[in-house]
Structure 1
């Protein structure tokens, strides 16, 4: 794992000395497409992340081995491999739940990166590790449990569903108010975040997510 990219990918223990809730260091805009299979299960989640200019520049400096101020195909492949391997411990920042139970995410087969307009772009497809039938109360979200990386959906339309199985579902984009979350969970958050630099599932409380009721 190398340089700042390792921090973005794995959220290593840099939160020991500072309040995690107020100090993300890396920023990304995201898009999430949740696709249903013909058999009524969740087929895949298509993720697109666009990282901020400062972090993207640091990745360029780290991986531009021939110092031509560009990232060639081989260098981009190395970045993709680094992120893919590092995010395994963090469910690839992709989280799914049904009726309160979390669904494990499989290691993505498709994982690509690009570098355009001075920004690092990450594209990958995540899938539930075991078949997940669409129904009940479901939540889909993308977040870094360490809160080192802030992943933002600029518009509600940046989280969408595709497929007939979702036709009967009511879907709502939920954007929690951080101040309200902190006020309601003060004691638990203090213990979880200040004593566990790797982050906890309580980070989901702050994450923008798509909530489905079918």
Structure 2
């Protein structure tokens, strides 16, 4: 963690507790929310594309043979590092089922690729419990430390896959940080500002897909 894995693991996972520090890593995300014929959410499919600066630092750390590219075995090591490191953080997955936070299972693997100077990660996660399409639900991808900015470029990058989930009323919500702060001044304590990772309140800032079924 402190040698060859330092950049990726530390930047993605061991980010310092900075009071509303601006993000240091930027990634464009796509999330596909998949349902089956049993009126249940079966998986969440993720694609993350990281900014060129961070991607170049990953290249430097994982390019063992110094050939200025990430070979298949090196990409596999990147994927395994993220797989192991982000388990504690639920792979930045935010799920609320009728107001209750839902965890996800560890995926079997995370695929990594490197194209046009950018690192890409591909993986799917499954809810840790049965997630029936009933009531109100929300889904998003968000780093609670606010060290990594996960951005959905368009509303279409939060996609619903399956007839059952598409039958639910749905909308993409993009919270305005200033409005969130103004509306929740009473509940945003000093503990939140000193260490957002120690609270669930930071999730109020996350772009999300909301469903009513």
TM-score norm. by structure 1 comes to 0.93
In 2: Cα distance, 1:115 partner to 1:86 partner:
20
Matches for 1:1-214 after TM superposition, within 5 Å: 1=1, 2-10=5-13, 12-15=14-17, 18-20=18-20, 22-186=21-185, 188-196=187-195, 198-214=197-213
Cα distance in 2 for residues equivalent to 1:76 and 1:199 = 32
Contact 1:95 1:102 in 2 (8 A): yes
Of 118-127 and 38-47, the range deviating more from structure 2: 38-47
Greater shift, 139-148 or 158-167, is seen at 158-167
**Equivalent pair of 2:32/2:45 in contact (CA under 8 Å):** yes
Deviations 1:42-82 (A, max 9, x none): 11100000000000000000111111110001100111011
Check whether the contact 1:181–1:205 (CA below 8 A) recurs between aligned residues. Answer: yes
Alpha-carbon contact 2:62-2:74 (below 8 Å) kept: yes
- Cα deviation, residue 102, structure 1: 1.3
Partners of 1:145 and 1:198 within 8 A in 2: yes
Asked if structure 2 preserves the Cα contact closer than 8 Å seen for 1:192 and 1:202, the reply is: no
Structure 1, unmatched stretches of 5+, are none
Distance 1:40 1:110, change over 3 A: farther
Paired with 1:13 and 1:157, the residues of 2 have a C-alpha distance of 29
User: Which piece of structure 1 moves more, 145-154 or 129-138?
Assistant: 129-138
- CA-CA distance at 1:97 after TM superposition: 1.2
TM normalised by structure 2 equals 0.93
**Residue correspondences, number:** 210
Residue 185 of structure 1 deviates from its aligned partner by 2.5
RMSD of aligned residue pairs (Cα, Å): 1.5
